[in-house]
């Protein structure tokens, strides 16, 4: 009988080939369900979401939102090439936005942004890709109060989709961000001047016949006002 010997180098090459082939084997082993299965699961997830939204906001829990999110995710995990895959990815992002606003949780809102980016990356041909980018800008502007990221996102939107129906809204959002920035700067300068005069008056360095300056309470910025409206509407 012929004896087969395995050298150390041959063994190492065998291990490397196995490691390379393993992800491919796992990908093929992952079950991909039919279009009918995807439609059925998507309809069930829609019913769960409708039931959740039909309840008063105060009665909706994080676990309730997560159940809906998991239901939609099972669609594009189980049938990633079906016609219900990218709508499910959008529904996950939308539910995360609703959840983030309900609990005033910026981390959840950032998860929503990540989900919209996932949609744009994994489904570049989706009809929802432009709306997804625009919504990212809205979240930065109205929810996270991050004008720099919001402005950059809207500018990217205008560059990528110059003929989209939302272009006018994106341009208006950029204008509003500019006005808000100017208001914040003017308010900060006014507050700094008032505080300086207060310090001088306390130190006796202002004329005796000059009354101390009145420091007005800080005004809410437009982004804060919009966010408070969103919070009130979620509680109603």
Distance CA 69, CA 95 (A): 7
Distance CA 162, CA 158 (A): 5
Q: Which two tokens stand for residue 110?
A: 């950032």
CA angle 173–175–180, rounded 5-degree value: 90
The pLDDT tens digits of the residues spanning 161-177 come to 999 999 999 999 999 99
Q: Which two tokens stand for residue 81?
A: 């090439």
pLDDT of residue 78: 97
Distance CA 220, CA 200 (A): 27
- What integer is the mean pLDDT of 203-226? 56
Helical packing angle, 147-160 and 167-202, nearest 10°: 160
Work out the number of other CB atoms within 10 angstroms of the CB of residue 233: 10
- What integer is the mean pLDDT of 180-201? 65
pLDDT of residue 180: 81
Q: What percent of the chain has pLDDT over 90?
A: 62
Distance CA 69, CA 162 (A): 32
pLDDT of residue 15: 47
pLDDT of residue 206: 56
Confidence of residue 21 (pLDDT cuts 50, 70, 90): very low
Chain centroid to CA 223: how far?
16
Please state the pTM of the whole predicted model: 0.69
């Amino acid at each position: 009988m012929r004896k087969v010997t395995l050298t150390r180098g041959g063994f190492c090459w065998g291990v490397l080939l196995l490691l390379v082939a393993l992800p491919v084997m796992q990908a093929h082993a992952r079950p991909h369900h039919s279009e009918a299965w995807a439609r059925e699961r998507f309809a069930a997830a829609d019913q769960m979401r409708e039931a959740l939204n039909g309840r008063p906001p105060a009665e909706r829990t994080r676990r309730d939102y997560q159940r809906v999110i998991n239901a939609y995710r099972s669609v594009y995990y189980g049938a990633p090439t079906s016609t219900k895959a990218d709508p499910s990815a959008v529904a996950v992002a939308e539910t995360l936005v609703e959840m983030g606003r309900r609990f005033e949780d910026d981390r959840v809102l950032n998860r929503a942004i990540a989900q919209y980016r996932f949609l744009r990356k994994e489904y570049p041909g989706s009809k929802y890709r432009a709306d997804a980018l625009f919504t990212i800008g809205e979240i930065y502007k109205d929810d996270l109060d991050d004008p720099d990221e919001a402005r950059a996102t809207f500018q990217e939107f205008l560059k990528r989709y110059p003929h989209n129906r939302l272009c006018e809204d994106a341009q208006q959002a950029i204008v509003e961000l500019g006005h808000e920035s100017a208001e914040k700067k003017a308010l900060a300068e006014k507050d700094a001047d008032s505080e300086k005069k207060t310090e001088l008056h306390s130190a006796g360095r202002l004329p005796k016949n000059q009354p101390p300056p009145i420091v007005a309470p800080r005004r809410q910025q437009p982004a804060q006002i919009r966010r408070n409206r969103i919070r009130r509407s979620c509680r109603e």
